[in-house]
Amino acid sequence: MTRHRVNNVKRYLCCAYSLLLTGVPVCWADAPVAANQPTLVLNDPTNAPFTTEAGDGFFDIIVGEAFRRAGLHLKLIRLPAERALMNANAGIEDGDLSRIAGLEKNYPNLVRVPEKILDMHFVAFTRKPKPTEASWTGFDPYTVGYIKGWKVFEQNLSSTTQVSMAGDPGQLFTMLDKNRIDVALYDRWMGYALAKQMQITDIRVVEPPLAVREMFIYLHQRHADKIPAIAAALRAIKAEGMYTKVCREKFAPLARPSSQCDVK
């Protein structure tokens, strides 16, 4: 099958999915962009189930629809987490898809869209019976790994914790699978999806979450005028029920979503 035909199939599936959810055929993956619809390129630090190459992840659908309603076209590119922030702050790309609040302090050219896109659960994964409880100061007897550039771990782990950095999620979970680290720190849902993909069956989350943080879109300050429309679109998507429906559909196959899909 040619690349052109593959793109047409992807576009058709995306349109059909959005039609099923909302009654409006909206296409994100490889969709044609209207002449009056500016494209914003955002760095994407996430993976499935949040974003996928097919463009059918939770953020692909929800943020893509919010941008469409705001008169914009969303394009995502994937870079290492630290480099993505530096590029967005420098204006090389137009912003960052999903980050915790407060980054404005260290990246002053970034402006936060005030309506959150999700509460992200930062958790500890392990293949061993210990540790039995997660806390920032409770990992000292263990070797802990996380992905370079993930600020929530970088800023909160005890200075005495033995840390091994990973360059990407696959490397992080390979280190865990091969017992090179005792604990892998990552997002709950991306961790579940990655463990399933890598067929790591003897893995568990150490409860409770180390942190639950609201996640936000950040745009370079040159796009600050677009922020009110994006925030209003996100609020409308939540009020209409689309947000909860897509959330449950994407997360339930991995584990019970519980309060993850509650709109607040």
d(C-alpha 228, C-alpha 75), whole Å: 19
Q: Work out the number of other CB atoms within 10 angstroms of the CB of residue 53.
A: 12
Measure Cα distances from 26 to 9, 19, 31 in Å: 14, 7, 9
| pLDDT above 50: residue 22 | no
Contact yes or no for 10/55 (Cβ under 8 A): yes
Per-residue pLDDT averaged across 83-104, rounded? 95
| pLDDT above 80: residue 25 | no
Measure Cα distances from 238 to 63, 165, 229, 231 in Å: 11, 36, 14, 11
Q: Which helix (H) or strand (E) holds 246?
A: helix 242-251
| pLDDT above 80: residue 39 | yes
Measure Cα distances from 262 to 22, 76, 86, 225, 259 in Å: 19, 26, 32, 29, 5
Beta bridge partners of 213: 120
d(C-alpha 130, C-alpha 140), whole Å: 12
Structural domains in the chain, CATH included, are: 3-119+214-261 (3.40.190.10), 121-212 (3.40.190.10)
Phi, psi of 131, deg, nearest 5: -70, 155
Contact yes or no for 123/134 (Cβ under 8 A): yes
d(C-alpha 260, C-alpha 40), whole Å: 28
Nearest to 62 by CA among 77, 45, 79, 49: 49
Percent of the chain with pLDDT over 70: 86
Q: Which one-letter DSSP state was computed for residue 179?
A: T
- The pLDDT-based confidence of 20 (bands split at 50, 70, 90) is very low
Q: DSSP 3-state assignment of 28?
A: coil
d(C-alpha 75, C-alpha 90), whole Å: 18
What pLDDT is recorded for position 45? 86
